[in-house]
Amino acid sequence: MTSFLWDQHTCLPLQITADVDQLTRYRRPGGALVSVNAGYSPHAFAETVALLQYYRTEIEAHSELDLAADLDEVEAITDAGRIAVVFDLEDSRPLDGDLDNLDILAGLGVRTLLPTYNHANRAGSGCLDTADGGLTSWGRSLVSEMNQVGIVPDGSHCSTRTGLQMCEKSTGPVIYSHSCMRSVWDHPRNITDDQARESAATGGVIGITGVGIFLGPNTPTLDSMTRHLEYAVDLVGIDHVGVSTDYSFDYADFIHEVTRNPHLFDDNYTRWGTIEWMPPETLLTLGEHLAGRGWSTSDIRAVLGGNFHRVARQAWRATRADPCLRRI
C-alpha cells in the first residue's frame, strides 16, 4: 500500500500570477500528491483553461513539482520523493454547458469535479440551498460523462439529495474530496451519515478536511480532524476515509472571492470570525498523531493516501494535454 501523502483538494490563488512554489510546503520524504483547484462557479471555460495552462507551465518549470498525467506517473514522482500535481474543479459552470469540454479538461489534468458549489445550477442543488431539488437530468448526464472520461464525481459543496443521486447514477466511485461529518459538527457544508455510506458503497472516499469552520467552531487542529476521521472510519470503514486540507495559500485571495461573490456564501462562513485553515505543515504530522492514538501503520497509510490512490486506480484514464490547447 502507498505510503505517500495524498491531499485531495488544496487552493492556490485563482489568478494567472499565483506562486506555485507554495506547493513545496508539502515536501516530505515519502512524496506527496496534491490536487489543486483550478476554478469554480464564477469561471467560464476559457478562464479555466487559461488558468490550467498557467499552472501547468509554472509547474513544468519548477524543480520540485511534476505534473502527473496518470497514476503510473504519480507513483514514479512520489517514489522519487517529489510532489505530483493534478487538478480539480469546484463546480460545473466552467464547462459552459458543453459536456464535450470534460474531455478537454481531463486532458489538462482535471481529475475530480463538483457538479455544484453551494447553490443550485444547471446540474443540481447546493449545500446552502433552502430547497433541495437534487440532481437534474443534465446533472445525471454530467455524471455519466465524467465516468467516461475518467473524472471522479465529487459531492463536496453539493446538497444532500444531489450527493445521494450522484451515487445512484455513477458507475464508478463518488468521493467527497473535502467534507467533514455533520454528526460531529453540524455545519451545512458537512455531509450526513447517509451521504458517507452511499459514497462508500460506490467505492468512494470521504476526504476529511482541515478548514476550522467545518471541523468545529473554527478549530483546525489535529484533535478536531481526528474526531471526524475516527467517526467516519467507525461509520464506513477504514477503506473509505482520506484527508484534504482545502488550504487557501492566499487568504487575501479567498476574502476577495467572498467579497466579489457574496451570493455564493452565507454567515456559516463568517460567524466565527476569520476562517482558520490547517496548513500543510500540520497535515504532515497527522500520521504521527494518529500513531500516538494507537492507529496501525496500515490504517494510517490508507487514510493518508492509500484510499484515494485506489479510487484513482479504478477511475482515472490516461490522458495527455493537447499542445493545440495553448492557443485557446
How far is residue 113's CA from residue 207's CA, in Å, rounded to a whole number? 14
How far is residue 240's CA from residue 219's CA, in Å, rounded to a whole number? 24
- Residue numbers of the domain that contains 108: 5-327
Given a contact cutoff of 8 angstroms between Cβ atoms, the answer to whether 30 and 78 are in contact is yes
Q: Residue count of the chain, please give it.
A: 328
For 78-114, how does the pLDDT look when each residue is reduced to its tens digit (9 = 90+)?
999 999 999 999 999 999 999 999 999 999 999 999 9
The CATH number of residue 232's host domain is 3.20.20.140
Given a contact cutoff of 8 angstroms between Cβ atoms, the answer to whether 113 and 56 are in contact is no
Task: Cell numbers for 270, please give them.
Answer: 463568517
The total domain count for the chain is 1
Which of helix, strand or coil describes residue 313? helix
For 122-180, how does the pLDDT look when each residue is reduced to its tens digit (9 = 90+)?
999 999 999 999 999 999 999 999 999 999 999 999 999 999 999 999 999 999 999 99
Give Cα 229 to chain centroid, integer Å: 16
pLDDT band with cut points at 50, 70 and 90 for residue 321: low
How far is residue 178's CA from residue 309's CA, in Å, rounded to a whole number? 16
How far is residue 321's CA from residue 38's CA, in Å, rounded to a whole number? 15
